[in-house]
Amino acid sequence: MTNSIPFEHERRFVPDAKVLPFDYKKYPMKSILQGYLKDAAGTRLRDESDEDAHTYLQTRKTGSGVSRTEDEHEITKEEFDTMWHDVECSLSKSRYFITWDDIDIEFNVFHGALDGYMQIEVEFDSHDAAVTFTPPSWLGREVTDDKSHGNYALAKHGIPK
């Protein structure tokens, strides 16, 4: 994997909220609305907001598993609003940013039709760091390679059985 291509190295987990060693609600949070266009590229639109501002992003990811290419750039609110009309499916979630035992995690709490579903994402600087990471048990069941737990599938089909 070369440095000239933007890659995302990430593992995803479905936690059991009863065994978490922290209260996620005490950490910084962003609200996220994201939708997927009806295009062959699987383009994702995202509105991230916190108390101070909104950030609008357009992203295309390719591949599957721990390491995928990720082409992401900021767009204007007007571009977001125009493209949002072509969204096929969408979801909303609150994302909490937590560092615990030197692990930087993004704790996602989903809303609407996905209410009650939670997912933890752990991002890494490299593919090697991602695959050699030994997750603590409190992270829960790993779903990195289960496409039914990907955001597009969650938006389109709901919570997996």
- Mean pLDDT of all residues in 82-86: 96
Strands (E), the chain: 7-14, 29-37, 44-49, 54-62, 67-75, 87-100, 103-110, 118-124, 141-142
pLDDT band for 4, please (50, 70, 90 cuts).
low
- What is the residue-averaged pLDDT of the chain? 92
Structure tokens at 25: 């609600």
Is the pLDDT at 57 greater than 80? The verdict is: yes
* pLDDT 10s digits, 125-152: 999 999 999 999 999 999 999 999 999 9
**pLDDT value at residue 5:** 60
Fold (CATH) for 7-157: Hypothetical Protein Pfu-838710-001 (2.40.320)
- pLDDT over 70 percentage in the chain: 97
Cβ contact 125:118 at 8 Å: no
**pLDDT value at residue 78:** 98
**pLDDT value at residue 65:** 81
AA letter at 22: F
pLDDT band for 54, please (50, 70, 90 cuts).
very high
CA dihedral sign, ordered 145, 31, 157, 13: positive
**pLDDT value at residue 1:** 41
* Domain-wise residue ranges, the chain: 7-157
Cβ contact 73:57 at 8 Å: yes
d(CA 155, CA 161): 14
Structure tokens at 91: 């979801």
- Mean pLDDT of all residues in 66-79: 90
* pLDDT 10s digits, 19-47: 999 999 999 999 999 999 988 788 999 99
**pLDDT value at residue 81:** 97
Which residues lie closer than 8 Å to 9 by C-beta, 6 or more apart? 66, 67, 123, 124, 125, 126, 127, 129, 130
- Mean pLDDT of all residues in 73-77: 96
Structure tokens at 9: 């190295």
The CA-CA-CA angle for residues 94, 129, 91, to 5°, reads 20
Structure tokens at 94: 């609150």
